[in-house]
A = this chain, B = another copy of it.
Amino acid sequence: MTVKGMHTSPLKADTLNPKVLTAQYAVRGEIVIRAGEIQEELAVGEKKPFSNILYCNIGNPQQLGQLPVTFFRQVLALCDYPPLLESPRVGELFPPDVVERARRYLNAIPGGTGAYSDSRGAGILRQEVAKGIERRDGYPADPDLIYMSDGASQSVHAVMRALIRDERDAVLVPIPQYPLYSATLALYGGTLLPYYLKEEHEWGLDLQELHDQTEKAKAEGKTVRALVVINPGNPTGQVLTQENQKDILKFCRDEGVVLAADEVYQDNIYSPNKKFVSFKKVMREMGLEDVALASMHSISKGFYGECGRRGGYTEFVGFDKDVLAQLYKLASINLCSNVNGQICTALMMQPPKEGEPSYLLYSKERSELLASLKRRAERLHKALSELQGVTCNPLEGALYAMPRIHLPPGAIQAAKEAGKAPDFFYCKQLLEETGIVTVPGSGFKQEEGTYHFRTTILVQEKETDQVIDRLKKFHDGFMEKYGRK
């Protein structure tokens, strides 16, 4: 019926798509919104026990002062404003390999950064990515199987959109997980099938758990469509062993499920006895042909941290060509990902080589930043481990720590009375008293009865001590206050 004469806003939230209403994304949830309010309160001179907000909730390095890779930005500037290439000053302002790279890309991309590209990304840029994958793995990569995207989040959307038919379709997701997975599963109406990483075994992935969950799901009439593996782990920071990766691939082969490999932290390894090996490489070494692997990467993490540029790609390995055609069509409905981000993705996979003019600066920036991240990871791990009632697995990789807080019953009771999850209760007070923004473990899901929070390791080194002091002071006070009860 018509609704003549109704007042403002015909549209009410409770009539929206229920899949949208149920989707959650804690990384930018209630605590972050409160942090924004506090920042405004500080701005208008409100007195607080701290002078600034420290955003440790999200892997956003440049927001915290990390500098971009010079080579990337030089090429991007020339590609966005090609007349600089004709300036007599260009040789003075840019190294020759930067100029050469920009010319080569612009000559091969009709319309440059201002024109829609092929929906999968400009051909020359997908070729650059393919060459980078070949160098990394020692196995061939086909540019036509590389689909560039506005960041890995878009890749995850595309895979979930294509795979999920209804709630009978299930996807195995590690717990703790990165909330993008629970959010997209909610949006596309699938079922999240949790497999718990073993905190007592340094967040190890237990194959038996995959089998148990899968059998359970089948018994409930569900179809397991995909297995999500995040390696290195987010929020948990563990790096898989190749043995573990082989078992995972065999599992996917035997069960006929797609392996969605989130490998965006592949350049973030800190443990001396761990290294990143791609699932593509392990699959090739095993000679496996009959696994469908979606390997996702991004320019947002690593040592480049180009989050705001929104660039990334998925390499589809072992996918049927009709399925790829459908994924191509999906991409074409969005026309293409941003070309500036596509170029940065190509640069990430095809950085300056030894002997090229930009190589020294590039490798200096790279090694200094990775060394600094390693120091920060170790320092934070040490500090967290020393806190009373806190245990923290080693930070082998990625950009986060996921300490477990053994909360006293008094804190759990007080949280219950406040109608909040205990770790939310902890993180909220941490924010109010210190200005440090973290994400409660409940936002990532966690073993029932355990409590965690996630913090990034991205605070600049000059501030790390200060942050650790703030955290320690708060934590001791919190434990004392609620421990007594």
Give the complex CA separation of A188 and B187 in angstroms.
10
Are A187 and B333 within 8 A (Cβ)? Answer: yes
In the complex, the answer to whether B62 meets A115 with C-beta atoms within 8 Å is yes
User: A96 near B: Cβ within 8 Å?
Assistant: no
Given the known A-B contacts A62-B115, A80-B76, A116-B63, are A335 and B23 also in contact in the complex, defined by CB atoms under 8 Å?
Answer: no
Question: Which A313-338 residues have a C-beta within 8 angstroms of B?
Answer: 318-320, 322-323, 325-326, 329-330, 332-338
Question: Contact between A334 and B4 (Cβ–Cβ < 8 Å)?
Answer: no
Q: How far is the CB of A208 from chain B (nearest CB, A)?
A: 16
* Chain B neighbourhood of A332, CB < 8 A: 25, 27-28
B-facing mask of A339-363, CB < 8 A → 1, else 0?
1110000000000000000000000
**Chain B residues whose C-beta falls within 8 Å of the C-beta of A87 in the assembled complex:** 93
Q: A11 at interface (Cβ–Cβ under 8 A)?
A: yes
Q: Please state if B335 and A3 are interface contacts (CB–CB under 8 Å).
A: no
Quick check: A308 and B183 within 8 Å, CB to CB?
no
Which residue in chain B gives the minimum CB-CB distance to A164?
Answer: B17
Q: Are B339 and A12 in contact (CB under 8 A)?
A: no
Judging by beta carbons under 8 Å apart, are A7 and B326 in contact?
no
Mark contacts of A7-19 with chain B using CB atoms, 8 A cut-off: 1 yes-contact digit, 0 otherwise: 1111111001110
Interface string of A54-82 (1 = CB under 8 A from B): 00001011111100101001101110111
Contact B89 A81 (CB under 8 A): no
CA A164 – CA B17 in complex, angstroms? Answer: 6
Known A-B contacts A307-B335, A329-B23, A340-B309; the reply to A320 vs B12 at CB < 8 A is: yes
Contact A11 B165 (CB under 8 A): no
Binding-face segment, A131-139, A287-295, A383-391, A445-453: A287-295
A114 at the binding interface (Cβ < 8 Å): yes
Interface residues of A in 1-56 (CB under 8 A from B): 1-4, 6-13, 16-18, 20-21, 23-25, 27-28
Flag if A21 contacts B180 (CB, 8 Å). no
How many subunits of this chain does the assembly comprise? 2
* Range, interface on chain A: 35 or more
CA distance A80 to B325 in the complex (A): 34
In-complex Cβ contact of A319 among B9, B24, B111 (8 A): B9
- Report B-chain residues with C-beta under 8 Å of the C-beta of A165: 16-18
Q: Which residues of B contact A63 (CB under 8 A)?
A: 110-111, 115-116
> Bound state CA distance, A41 and B286, in angstroms?
38
Chain B proximity mask over A86-123: 1 for CB below 8 Å, otherwise 0: 01010011000000000000000011111111010000
Asked whether A307 and B114 contact (CB < 8 A) given A6-B256, A292-B11, the answer is yes
Chain A 221-259 interface 0/1 with B at a Cβ cutoff of 8 Å (1 = within):
000000000000000000000000000000011111110
Chain B residues whose C-beta falls within 8 Å of the C-beta of A218 in the assembled complex: 1
Chain B residues within an 8 Å CB radius of A112: 62, 308
27 A-B residue pairs with Cβ-Cβ distance under 8 Å, sorted by A, are A2-B254, A4-B254, A7-B289, A11-B320, A12-B320, A16-B165, A16-B323, A23-B330, A25-B329, A25-B333, A28-B332, A28-B335, A64-B111, A68-B114, A73-B82, A76-B80, A77-B77, A77-B84, A80-B80, A89-B89, A115-B307, A150-B150, A150-B310, A154-B334, A187-B333, A340-B340, A340-B341
